């Protein structure tokens, strides 16, 4: 029995190691004002070789071993050598769009990637996609197809969730002046032109600035959270059906001024959002306990777990090291939540948690799909 116990433990450790090795696709980040991070296991190192400059959105992708493939601000695409990819200019995202770009691997292919883009503040370019073929240009990639129109106008929200079949993707966006979440199926056959539409929750509309704010999935893909930015703004929590692409069961968290960033804890038990409080002149991070009970209990669980020395904080992004990083506008540091599964102040937030080697953060951090393991 003891021998079986040791064998079982060794097997689980082996599985964990394999899983960790298969998640290198998120290991390189490029964002802000030529800022970058390379992750390797539990270590994170600032890098200064990036060419990307963006006020808000960006996206990066690496291979399963953590080797950089390419990155973009939604307008220009740079290859692994930090050179503009052939045909890599002229994408119709906006570098002041919250989630200006998202890179999605094509199911069934080891070389084809889609870049989805969103226009700034619900303008006419809307949601589009382009195609990168990594077999071109000596393995450095080529943008072989650009700016296929999907829908306009949309908000600046853009994410993707793995289909329940473990292979395909749902790319999720939000229609403007509407309460419609849009889920586009991405499969071996390409990108479906007709989305699954879910009319649920808050109408995202009004003055165009209200298109601002992140949309993120939980680690298991069963929930979505959105930040609805304005002076008296909200966070929205919803259910997501990975089989059908349908969105349902909204919970609204009201009254968080300039709600912008969103992140789930690694175990999915906590939701974090950034808010910029004009009364204090300092950015804050609020935590919601998703295991507090029903909707009312979750709403009442709202707790300010961090206050930044920066007047404006933006994106939140879960790193490969299990920590959540917070973008501080025009700052040489990122804030870090070191223990995001914990409750309340036990999260251990440090405002100068990660130094960017002289580069500066802005409002955004790289946008990633819910998971990137290929089957």
Q: What is the mean pLDDT of residues 362-367?
A: 98
Task: Say if CB 90 and CB 77 are below 8 A apart.
Answer: no
Is 14 a member of any domain? no
DSSP E strand boundaries for 152-269: 154-162, 169-175, 178-187, 190-191, 196-204, 215-217, 223-228, 234-240, 247-253, 262-264
| Average pLDDT value for residue range 270-275 | 97
d(CA 374, CA 359): 33
Q: Quick one: pLDDT at residue 6?
A: 38
User: 156 φ, ψ to 5°?
Assistant: -90, 15
The C-alpha atoms of residue 136 and residue 127 are separated, in whole angstroms, by 26
Distance, CA of 109 to CA of 105 (rounded, Å): 8
Nearest Cα neighbor of 290 from 311, 330, 262, 315 is 262
Would you say residue 19 lies in a domain? no
Query: Which pLDDT value is given to residue 2?
Result: 39
User: Band of the pLDDT at 110, cuts 50, 70, 90?
Assistant: very high
Q: Categorise residue 4: left if φ over 0, alpha if ψ from -120 to 50, beta otherwise.
A: alpha
Separation CA 33–CA 232 (nearest Å):
29
In angstroms, the CA 190 to CA 192 distance is: 7
Do the strands 215-217 and 223-228 form a parallel or antiparallel pair, or are they unpaired? antiparallel
Task: Supply the DSSP symbol for 140.
Answer: T
Average pLDDT, the chain: 92
Structural domain for 306, as ranges: 25-355
13 in a structural domain: no
Residue 197 vs residues 24, 111, 167, 205, 279: alpha-carbon distances, Å: 32, 30, 21, 17, 38
Q: What is the pLDDT of residue 231?
A: 66
Q: What pLDDT sits at residue 38?
A: 98
Band (pLDDT 50/70/90 cuts) for residue 372 is low
Give the mean model confidence (pLDDT) for residues 318-323: 97
The pLDDT value recorded for residue 206 is 86
Give residue 46's pLDDT. Answer: 98
Average pLDDT over residues 48-77: 97
Are 236 and 249 in contact by the 8 Å Cβ rule? The answer is: no
Residue 363 lies in a domain: no
Residue 367 domain flag? no
Is the per-residue pLDDT at 285 higher than 80? Answer: yes
Q: At 277, is the pLDDT very low, low, confident or very high (cuts 50, 70, 90)?
A: confident
In a domain, 204, yes or no: yes
Mean pLDDT value of segment 35-40: 97
Residue 336 in this model has a pLDDT that exceeds 50: yes
Average pLDDT over every residue of 286-302: 97
Mean pLDDT of 100-123: 97
What distance in Å separates the CA atoms of residue 344 and residue 305, rounded to the nearest whole number?
6
Which H or E run includes 295?
Answer: helix 295-300
Tell me the CATH number at 92. 2.120.10.30
Would you say residue 9 lies in a domain? no
Q: Of residues 155 and 232, which shows the higher confidence score?
A: 155
238-261 burial, b at 16+ Cβ within 10 Å, e below that, comes to bbbbbeebbbeebbebeebebbbb
Give first-to-last CA distance, the chain, whole Å. Answer: 35
pLDDT above 70 covers a percentage of the chain that reads 92
Rounded Cα distance between 265 and 337, Å, is: 10
CA pair distance 205, 256, nearest whole angstrom: 17
Count up the domains in the chain and report the number: 1
pLDDT on residue 281: 79
Say if 366 falls within a structural domain: no
Each residue of 157-212: pLDDT tens digit?
Answer: 999 999 999 999 999 999 999 999 999 999 999 999 999 999 999 999 988 888 99
Quote the DSSP letter at residue 197. E
pTM for the predicted model, two decimal places: 0.93
* pLDDT tens profile 221-271: 999 999 999 767 899 999 999 999 999 999 999 989 999 999 999 999 999
What whole-number distance in Å separates Cα of residue 306 and Cα of residue 46?
23
Predicted confidence at residue 233, as pLDDT, reads 86
């Amino acid at each position: 029995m003891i021998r079986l116990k040791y064998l079982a433990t060794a097997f689980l450790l082996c599985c964990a190691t394999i899983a960790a090795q298969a998640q290198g696709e998120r290991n390189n980040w490029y964002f802000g004002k030529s800022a970058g991070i390379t992750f390797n296991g539990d270590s994170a190192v600032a890098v200064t070789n990036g060419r990307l400059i963006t006020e808000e959105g960006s996206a990066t992708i690496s291979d399963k071993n953590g080797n950089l493939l390419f990155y973009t601000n939604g307008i220009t695409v740079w290859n692994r050598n930090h050179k503009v990819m052939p045909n890599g200019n002229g994408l119709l995202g906006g570098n002041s769009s919250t989630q200006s770009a998202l890179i999605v691997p094509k199911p069934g292919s080891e070389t084809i990637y889609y870049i989805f883009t969103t226009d700034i503040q619900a303008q006419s370019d809307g949601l589009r996609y382009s195609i990168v073929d990594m077999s071109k240009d000596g393995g450095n990639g080529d943008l072989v197809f650009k700016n296929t129109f999907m829908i306009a106008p949309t908000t600046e929200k853009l994410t993707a969730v793995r289909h329940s079949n473990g292979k395909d993707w749902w790319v999720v966006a939000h229609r403007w002046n509407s309460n419609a979440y849009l889920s586009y199926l991405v499969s071996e056959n390409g990108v479906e032109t007709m989305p699954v539409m879910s009319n649920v929750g808050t109408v995202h509309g009004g003055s165009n600035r209200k298109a601002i704010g992140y949309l993120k999935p939980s680690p298991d893909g069963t929930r979505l959270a959105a930040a609805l930015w304005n002076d008296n703004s909200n966070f929205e929590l919803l259910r997501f059906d990975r089989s059908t692409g349908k969105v349902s069961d909204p919970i609204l968290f009201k009254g968080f001024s300039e709600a912008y960033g969103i992140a789930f804890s690694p175990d999915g038990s906590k939701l974090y959002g950034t808010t910029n409080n004009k009364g204090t002149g300092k950015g804050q991070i609020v935590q919601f306990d998703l295991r507090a009970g029903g909707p009312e209990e979750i709403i009442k669980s709202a707790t300010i777990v961090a206050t930044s020395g920066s007047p404006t904080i933006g994106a939140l992004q879960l790193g490969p090291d299990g920590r959540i990083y917070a973008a501080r506008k025009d700052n040489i540091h990122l804030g870090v939540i070191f223990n995001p599964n914990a409750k309340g102040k036990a999260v251990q937030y440090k405002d100068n948690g990660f130094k960017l080697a002289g580069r500066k953060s802005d409002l955004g951090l790289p946008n990633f799909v819910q998971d990137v393991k290929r089957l």
